[in-house]
Every structure is written in structure tokens, then in C-alpha cells.
């Protein structure tokens, strides 16, 4: 199976999910839901996958990626069609749970599929192309959702956006679609526990780096609009600064597959942490838009290529037959970060202001970078 086909299918699926996420939030507001209710609805996108991610990973290791990919896309499609057929606030709770669970099941399974295409040396390239797919659809999905809502309304927007998931369902259900099966786990391996990974040399360091970088990504997306409003920037200007970050991520992910075989994973990851830490320390000291854009672009360039490298390191270190389980643990970390970071740093910012928030995360990155440097020597 070609990695290019996997990339196209992922763009279609993530486009549906990214657009669905926007429609769900705006539809809840349209139905005059309170901010708390909107938060509950949106949290269902990640809370349920966070609880089930590890079980899904073990299931994928056991039966391969195709059926879980299909199950995930069908759940996403079913949620979107349900939202179109019954456009009410109560329905959005079910739509959010189905769409989030379906997409993250697909996300874990497609990571397994990409890892098994070609040789082990091709994994950085494959994961880089997969990350590029998420960047592409992550931009297109919300834009299409906004245009569709303004043009045909919330319910029909869900129906239009579900076309990507529908196409993927048809392809995955085809008898011609085949994926490589993962290596089977040894029969004597015994009970599987997540704690087993922490006993593998180097695994704790990879999880530490993955967690810190994921928190940085979520922190910037959450805090930048608050900081921009605090210093008097318009919504358009804040969007431009965030766009500079997104543009850098896209550029780095576009270039990564071209240089994948020459990339030294740990050197790039340590560099990304040190650069990102320095940027976050400087960010709250700056108010000029050009310099804010430059810092945002530099932060995006530092973080943009880290996801494929971390996924490669995790998969390569995974015990036989537990590759998808490792990727599922990373998915759990991401969902936990997306749920907890806004709460934790929002509370810190409310008490102490924005500067300590940026500095706390910046120092965390610098410390993690130094720890990784010493551990790799």
C-alpha cells in the first residue's frame, strides 16, 4: 500500500473531523448553550479517546490497522450524519463523542499503517508525510466549515463535510485495500502493562520530550489569543500571528520528507526544545506585531518537525507486536495535555498574569532540553 494513498485518505478524514469540530462548537453557541455546556460538549472529543486509547492500540496490534481505520471513519461519519439529521443541542453530545472517538481510533491505526510501509528507515519520511497531511487538512477543514455554516447552515455543513469520511469509508471497505500486518508479539510475553515501556532504556526520555513538546503546542494555541487581546491586538492581527506559527509548521513538514534519511532525531528534538524555550521566554516581553510574527514563526519551525521524529523513536523502541500500543500512549498524552493545559495555565494566568505562564513553559523546555542533552552524552 502506497504512503501517498494513506496521506490522501488521512487528509480526507481529518478534513471532516477538523470541520466537524468547528461546526460542533458554533452549533452549540447557536443553540444558546452556556460556556460551561460548550466546554463539556467539546471535551467529549478528547475525554473518551483518552480513556480508551491504550485498549485501541492493543486491538490494532492484534488485528492490524485496516479494520480499526474503517471502524474509526464509520464512527466519525455516523456522528456527522446524526448531527445533520437531528440538529439539536442534545444531539451534539453524541456527535462529539462519536466524532472524537472515531477520529482518534483512526489516528492510532493510520500511524501503525504508515510505520509498516517500506523499510524501518522510511518511517521518518512516512510520519513526516502523515504530519503534513494533518497540517493541510487542519487548515482546510475549519475554513470550509466556516464558509459552509455561513452559506447553508450548521446541519447541512456537517453533511457536506462528511463527504471526506464517506470517500475514505468506501476505499477502506474495498476488497482491494490491503495493509501490512504488524509483527506478532512473542507467545511468552505475558500480561501487557503500560509500565513495561518505562523499563525500556531511553523510553522515559522520549515520553518526557513528547509530553513537554505537546504541552508547548497546546499552550501557545491557548495563551496567544489571550496575550494578544491583553496588549490590544485585533482578532485579525492575532489570527495573523497564529498563522505565522502554522505556516512555519507547514513549511518544516513539507521539507522533512526530503531530508528524512539525513535527520538525526535527537539532535533535532533537543534543538527544538532549546529554541522553543528561548522563544517563550522572549514572547511576553514583545508587543510589536512584526517581532511577534517572527517569534511565532520561529516557534513553529522548532515544533513543526518534532511529531514525526517522536513517533519514529517510539515505534522503533516498541517491543515486538506493541507498536500501535506505544502510539496509543502518545495519543493519551496528547489528549491529556489538550484537556489539562488550558485549565492549569489558565488558572496560573488568572492569578499571576501571562508573563509567568510563558516563562514557566519556556523554562520547562530549557530544562527538558538540558536533561535530554546530558542523557544522550
Q: What is the pTM (predicted TM-score) of this model? A: 0.80
3-state SS record for the chain: CCHHHHHHHHHHHHHHHHHHHHHHHHHHHHCCCCHHHHHHHHHHHHHHHHHHHHHHHHHHHHHCCHHHHHHHHHHHHHHHHHHHHCCCHHHHHHHHHHHHHHHHHHHHHHHHHHHCCCCHHHHHHHHHHHHHHHHHHHHHHHHHHHHHHHHHCHHHHHHHHCHHHHHHHHHHHCCCCCCCCCCCCCCCCCCCCCHHHHCCCCHHHHHHHHHHHHHHHHHHHHHHHHHHHHCCCCHHHHHHHHHHHHHHHHHHHHHHHHCHHHCCHHHHHHHHHHHHHHHHHHHHHCCCHHHHHHHHHHHHHHHHCHHHHHHHHHHHHCCCCCHHHHHHHHHHHHHHHHHHHHHHHHHHHHHHCHHHHHHHHHHHHHHHHHHHHHHHC
Q: How many CA atoms lie within 13 A of 5 on its CB side?
A: 12
Question: What domains appear along the chain, each with residue ranges and CATH number?
Answer: 3-173 (1.20.1250.20), 195-376 (1.20.1250.20)
Q: Per residue of the chain (377 residues), what is the pLDDT tens digit?
A: 588 889 999 999 999 998 898 888 888 888 888 767 877 888 788 888 888 888 998 899 888 888 999 999 999 999 999 999 999 999 999 999 999 999 999 999 999 988 888 877 788 888 888 888 988 888 788 888 888 888 898 899 999 999 999 999 999 988 666 666 666 555 545 566 766 776 777 777 887 888 888 888 777 876 777 788 788 888 678 878 877 888 888 888 888 777 656 767 788 888 888 888 999 899 888 888 899 999 989 998 888 878 888 888 888 777 777 778 888 887 887 777 766 666 666 666 667 777 787 888 888 888 888 888 877 65
Amino acid at each position: 500500500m502506497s504512503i501517498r494513498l494513506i496521506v490522501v485518505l488521512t487528509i480526507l478524514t481529518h478534513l471532516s473531523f477538523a470541520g466537524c469540530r468547528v461546526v460542533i462548537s458554533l452549533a452549540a453557541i447557536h443553540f444558546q448553550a452556556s460556556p460551561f455546556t460548550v466546554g463539556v460538549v467539546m471535551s467529549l472529543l478528547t475525554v473518551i479517546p483518552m480513556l480508551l486509547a491504550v485498549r485501541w492500540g492493543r486491538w490494532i496490534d492484534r488485528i492490524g490497522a485496516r479494520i480499526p481505520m474503517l471502524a474509526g471513519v464509520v464512527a466519525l461519519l455516523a456522528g456527522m450524519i446524526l448531527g445533520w439529521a437531528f440538529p439539536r443541542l442534545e444531539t451534539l453530545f453524541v456527535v462529539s463523542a462519536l466524532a472524537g472517538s472515531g477520529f482518534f481510533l483512526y489516528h492510532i491505526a493510520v500511524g501503525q499503517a504508515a510505520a509498516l510501509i517500506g523499510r524501518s528507515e522510511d518511517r521518518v519520511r512516512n510520519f513526516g508525510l502523515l504530519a503534513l497531511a494533518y497540517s493541510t487538512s487542519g487548515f482546510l477543514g475549519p475554513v470550509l466549515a466556516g464558509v459552509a455554516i455561513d452559506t447553508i447552515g450548521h446541519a447541512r455543513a456537517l453533511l457536506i463535510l462528511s463527504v471526506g469520511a464517506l470517500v475514505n469509508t468506501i476505499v477502506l471497505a474495498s476488497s482491494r485495500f490491503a495493509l501490512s500486518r504488524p509483527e506478532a508479539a512473542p507467545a511468552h510475553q505475558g500480561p501487557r502493562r503500560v509500565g513495561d515501556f518505562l523499563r525500556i532504556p531511553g523510553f522515559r526520555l522520549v515520553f518526557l520530550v513528547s509530553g513537554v513538546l505537546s504541552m508547548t503546542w497546546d499552550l501557545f494555541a491557548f495563551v496567544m489569543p489571550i496575550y494578544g487581546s491583553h496588549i490590544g491586538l485585533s482578532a485579525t492581527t492575532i489570527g495573523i500571528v497564529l498563522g505565522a506559527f502554522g505556516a512555519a509548521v507547514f513549511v518544516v513538514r513539507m521539507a522533512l520528507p526530503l531530508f528524512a534519511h539525513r535527520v538525526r532525531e535527537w539532535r533535532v528534538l533537543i534543538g527544538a526544545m532549546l529554541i522553543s524555550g528561548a522563544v517563550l521566554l522572549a514572547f511576553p516581553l514583545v508587543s510589536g506585531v512584526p517581532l511577534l510574527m517572527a517569534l511565532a514563526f520561529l516557534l513553529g519551525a522548532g515544533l513543526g518537525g518534532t511529531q514525526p521524529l517522536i513517533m519514529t523513536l517510539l515505534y522503533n523502541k516498541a517491543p515486538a507486536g506493541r507498536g500501535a500500543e506505544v502510539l496509543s500512549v502518545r495519543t493519551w498524552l496528547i489528549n491529556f495535555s489538550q484537556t489539562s493545559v488550558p485549565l492549569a495555565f489558565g488558572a496560573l494566568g488568572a492569578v499571576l498574569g501571562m508573563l509567568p505562564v510563558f516563562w514557566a513553559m519556556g523554562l520547562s523546555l530549557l530544562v527538558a532540553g538540558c536533561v535530554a542533552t546530558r542523557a544522550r552524552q
